[in-house]
Amino acid sequence: MTVIMIVYYLITAFTAAMLIWNFIREKSDRQKMVLYLIVLTPLLLRILRIR
């Protein structure tokens, strides 16, 4: 794996971390909670190198 590819996993992981942080902080907007998970799903499967 190249250095640039590793950086892309880091960028993806950083974005995923921000989504999880927002998901945990979200107190009232139930629709928004779903949206965080929708975006998070492909990011997590990429980080885990599944797809």
Partner 1 sequence: MYLHIGVILLVMAAAYTAANRLKLSVELRMLSATLAGGITGAFFHTPPLMQLGRHMIEGSFTYLDVMLVFVTATIFIEIMATSGSVNFVVRGIVTTFFRVRMLALFLLMFVILIPGALTGAGSVSVLTVGAPCALALGYLGVSRGRSAAILFIIAGLSAAAPPVNIWAMIVSAGTAIPYVGFELPLGIPVLLLGTFTMLTLGWRQEQRLSLEQVLAEMPPVPEGMAWWRVALPFGVFFGLVVIGRVLPFTIPIMGLPLQFVLSAAVALAVSPGPINILTLSRDTVKKLTPLLATMAVVGAMQQVMTVTGVKGLISFAVISVPLIMLYALLVFIIPASEGVLTYGGAAIIGIPLVWFLDSRGLHATVVIAGLSLLWPLGDGLPPTALIGRLTMMVTEYRESYISFLKKTWIPWLAITLVGILMVIFSAKLAFLVEWSM
Partner 2 sequence: MTRTAIYKMSLAAIFGLVSGIAGYQFYEHRHYQAPIIAGPGVTRVVKLHEYCPSLKGTPADTDVFFLEGAGDGGTVLLVANTHSNEPAARLTAEIFLENCTIQKGRLIVIPQFNNSGSRNTKPGDGYPLYFEIPTAWGKKKFRMGNRNASPLDSWPDPDVYIHYPDRSLLSYLDVRNTNRTWPGRPDGPLMERVCFAAMELIRNEQVDVAIDIHGAETMFPVTNCIVAPEKSSRIATMVQLMTQAMEGFTVNVYPSPQNFRGLSHREIGDYSNAMPFLLEAPIPFLDQPTGPKTEELLLTGRDPLLLSLARQGKLFVPYDEYGWPMKNRVGQHCSVILEIMNQLSQASPERAVVAENVPRYKDVLEHDVGYYYHNPATADPARVYPN
The answer to whether 34 contacts partner 1 (rule: CB under 8 A) is yes
Kind and range of the H or E run holding 3: helix 3-25
Q: Which is nearer to partner 2, 13 or 44 (CB)?
A: 44
Query: Residue 6 touches which of partner 2, partner 1, none (CB < 5 to 8 A by kind)?
Result: none
Provide the 8-state DSSP code for 30: H
Tokens encoding 17: 């971390």
The residues in 1-51 that bind partner 2, with binding defined as CB under 8 A, are: 4-5, 8, 23, 27-28, 30, 33-34, 37, 40-41, 44-46, 48-51
The answer to whether the CB of 40 falls within 8 A of the CB of 16 is: yes
